[in-house]
Structure 1
Amino acid sequence: MALFSGPLPLIPVPTANRRDGEPVEKTPSVVALGGGHGLSASLSALRLLTQDLTAVVTVADDGGSSGRLRRELGVLPPGDLRMALAALCDDTDWGRTWRDVMQHRFTSTEGVEGSLDNHALGNLLIVTLWELLGDPVAGLQWAGALLGARGKVVPMASVPLTIEGDILTESGGGLRVKTIVGQAQLAVAAEGGNVSNVRLLPEAAPACKDALEAIELADWVILGPGSWYTSVLPHLLLPELRDALCRTSARRCLTMNMTNDTKETQGMTAVDHLAVIKRYAPEFTVDVVLADPAVVGDRAQFEAAVAGMGGRAVLGKVGSSTGKPVHDPLRLATAYKDMFGEN
């Protein structure tokens, strides 16, 4: 039996607007960009602050269940979109049950090579809605309605994307550059060398119109956390989306990961992470970079790097108390709430 069957209350965010001399509490319009577990962490926090929330999700995944559906049916990879919907599910028995249904994966009987093995039911459901409705955004809205999602989920592009990058590896006693094609392969190959020259294909792919509109109308845009090269950076590699992020009147926040040492970013510091963003999108500026003090390293150097991107560093303990390098939703929500309430 559920301990709490009603929806979680929204945490009011004070604004500078006033009515009859009293503060007016208004939830901000927020767009969160990313993919995978990083975006899920951000959405789990933001859903406590506002229902005017849009998740813009990467569509370059080519591994696992998503990769199989993409190759076999020519559809957008649904996995990261499914995870975003699950993070926004209504906090009731209904919402949590359908979240678990969406996340359920089939496992074939041992020794049987089944066609459903490792497929997430939610991926199949989303693709079914796409085929019936002929519209990826509409299909995601119907899936969101089933979960009672607190917010909207849209793909970053209207076509599947391919991410590729160059890896510098040791070979025959020397160094050579190897081009890796595909998000899944790039994440694995990055363990053996430094990632460089990351790019999206097709280069001029159309961005999702709903994503562009949401960014234009937002009060805040939040990029990250997530896999730096394959979940965060792609939003700045897609020309139309990058232009929208640079033009928007919304305030911009870059949320750092809870660890600098991932498969894709071995040996990199927090400052190196910022340098990647600045290298690929020099025109992209930020108002705030949110980070846990545990990951910033040299604080003065980090603050100087943030200032070089036009913003200021906000440091706060936002990590999980378990010691795992993941964000705690409530701590992250508190940090975002304080950030939203500032003039």
Structure 2
Amino acid sequence: MKKANIVVIGGGTGLSVLLKGLKTFPVDITAIVTVADDGGSSGRLRKELRIPPPGDVRNVLVALAEVEPLVEELFQHRFENGNGLSGHSLGNLLLAGMTSITGDFARGVQEISRVLNVKGKVLPAANEEIILHAELEDGTFVEGESNIPLAGKKVKRVFLEPNNPEPLQETLIALEKADLIVLGPGSLYTSIIPNLLVPGIADVIMKSTATKVYICNVMTQPGETDEFKASDHVQAIYEHIGENIIHSILVNGQNIPFSYAQRYAGQGAKQVEVDYDGLQKLGLDIISDDLLYFDNYLLRHDAIKLSQRLLSML
């Protein structure tokens, strides 16, 4: 029996959590990962070496890796001391080194995937350096992915520079072959939408006959989705891309314990309200389930439950 082809699009922690769950099932996985990051170690490497930022790609590689835990830990190890080394993670440096050896970032990712025995394919959304810009509601502009949430104002739209980066052919082929296309979970304006703005990607998704689902974030993100309901997340994607991009939305129906809600409120975040009426008006199938996993002081999606819910849609 043919394995289902699942393409997951996004970046950040949410994407890595989902992939850790999905890789335990007999499916073919392709992860399309944002390359708009410009903060921390990734930002330094992209400035110094003029390569796409490796951070989000590194996290996804580790999530899909099938290696000894110590190798995983080594790849994620961040140097705390050393002139020039401080703040860099070893995985970022290895990706930068492999890009230098192969002369191509996507090829470098492919070679590192072999070393880590990655289950599935990890593809950068574009094979070049991209700068993310935002136009805010008050008409001002912000440059750089890491600066957008810091502006503390409502985002009107985001756009890429250059505005026509070349998508990888492999990415378009993976989307054409997909049985299920998943957007998220992840930062709406800085992890999900930037991938869809790379020319060709949204067009192929629109034409695809695959099941298309958006995984809504559990919490609002300060400086990015303050006060957003579930339908506001979808509306933002529609305004950037078009209305046929997804068929379904997967939302968390579980209440957050008071102690967690309080802790997140202290950081300016709260539980995303699932406004069923608003989602139905957008013509979406709504799948609601208890999807939370409590990781020490953090809320995460339960990777296995989330994966099972997605696979039940095939």
Q: TM-score, normalised by structure 2?
A: 0.89
Aligned partners of 1:330 and 1:208: how far apart in 2? 30
CA distance in 1, matches of 2:68, 2:188: 30
Say if 1:89 and 1:96, in contact at 8 Å, map to a contact too: no
Structure 2 residue 119 is matched with structure 1 residue 119: no
Q: Which amino acid aligns with 1:142?
A: E
Deviation string 1:204-251 (CA, Å, 9 cap, x unpaired) is 111112111111111111111100000011122222111122122322
* Contact 2:22 2:307 (8 Å CA) reproduced: yes
Which of 86, 91, 101 is residue 62 of structure 2 equivalent to?
86
Match runs of 1:286-305 below 5 Å: 286-294=246-254, 295-305=272-282
Q: Distance in 2 between matches of 1:51 and 1:125?
A: 28
CA distance in 2, matches of 1:283, 1:304: 12
CA displacement at 1:293 relative to structure 2: 1.8
Give unpaired runs (5+ residues) of structure 1. Answer: 1-23, 169-175
- Indicate how the Cα distance of structure 1 residues 339 and 296 shifts in structure 2: closer, same or farther if over 3 A, else same: farther
Per the TM alignment, residue 283 of structure 1 is displaced from its structure 2 partner at its CA by 4.2
Match of 1:328 among 294, 299, 302: 302
The verdict on how the C-alpha distance between 1:50 and 1:287 changes in structure 2, with shifts beyond 3 A counting, is: farther
- 1:75 is aligned to 2:44: no
- 2:140 pairs with one of 178, 188, 193: 178
Question: What do the CA deviations read for 1:303-333 (whole angstroms, capped 9, x no partner)?
Answer: 333x1xxx41111111114573321112112
Contact 1:126–1:140 under 8 Å retained in 2 = yes
Once the two structures are TM-superposed, the CA of residue 261 in structure 1 deviates from its matched residue by 4.3
Give the 3 Å change call, closer, same or farther, for CA 258–125 of structure 1 in structure 2.
same
Whether 1:315 and 2:288 are equivalent positions in the alignment is: yes
Aligned equivalent of 2:191, options 217, 220, 231: 231
Tell me how far 1:301 sits from its aligned partner: 2.7
- Asked whether 1:144 is paired with 2:101, we answer no
* Alpha-carbon distance, 1:260 to partner: 2.8
Question: Which amino acid is the alignment partner of residue 251 of structure 1?
Answer: T
Cα 1:95/1:213, change in 2 over 3 Å: farther
- Equivalent position SS for 1:50: coil
Aligned counterparts of 1:321 and 1:331: Cα–Cα separation in 2: 13
Alignment of 1:66 with 2:42, yes or no, is yes
C-alpha change, 1:208 and 1:44, in structure 2 (3 Å) is: same
SS at match of 1:239: coil
SS in 1 for 2:56: helix
Alignment of 1:43 onto 2:19: yes
Structure 1 counterpart of 2:260: none
C-alpha deviations, 1:166-189, integer Å up to 9, x for none?
234xxxxxxx43210000111222
- For the Cα contact (< 8 Å) 1:95–1:147, is it kept in 2? no
The aligned amino acid for 1:156 is A
Counterpart code for 2:167? A
Q: Write the letter of the residue equivalent to 1:34.
A: G
* Superposition misfits of 4+ residues, deviation over 4 angstroms: none
Does the CA contact (< 8 Å) of 2:19 and 2:60 recur in 1?
yes
Pick closer, same or farther for the CA change 1:331–1:262 going to 2, 3 Å.
farther
What is aligned with 1:32?
A: 8
Rg larger in 1 or in 2?
Answer: 1
Q: Which whole-Å CA distance do the structure 2 matches of 1:330 and 1:79 have between them?
A: 24
Deviation at 1:298, TM superposition (A): 2.9
TM-score, normalisation: structure 1: 0.82
> 5+ residue gaps in structure 2?
255-271
Work out the CA distance in 2 between the residues paired with 1:45 and 1:296.
25
Q: Does 1:99 align with 2:80?
A: no
Provide the C-alpha distance between the structure 2 equivalents of 1:278 and 1:237, rounded to a whole number of angstroms: 12
In 2, Cα distance between equivalents of 1:39 and 1:292: 16
Q: Residues 83, 234 of structure 1: CA spacing in aligned structure 2 closer, same or farther, 3 A cutoff?
A: same
The residue aligned with 1:4 is: none
Aligned equivalents of 1:103 and 1:202: distance in 2? Answer: 30
- 2:312 aligned partner: 338
Distance 1:296 1:337 in 2: 25
The residue that corresponds to 1:276 in the other structure is: 236
Percent identical pairs in the alignment equals 33
Structure 1 pair 205–267 and aligned structure 2 pair: CA distance change class (3 A):
same
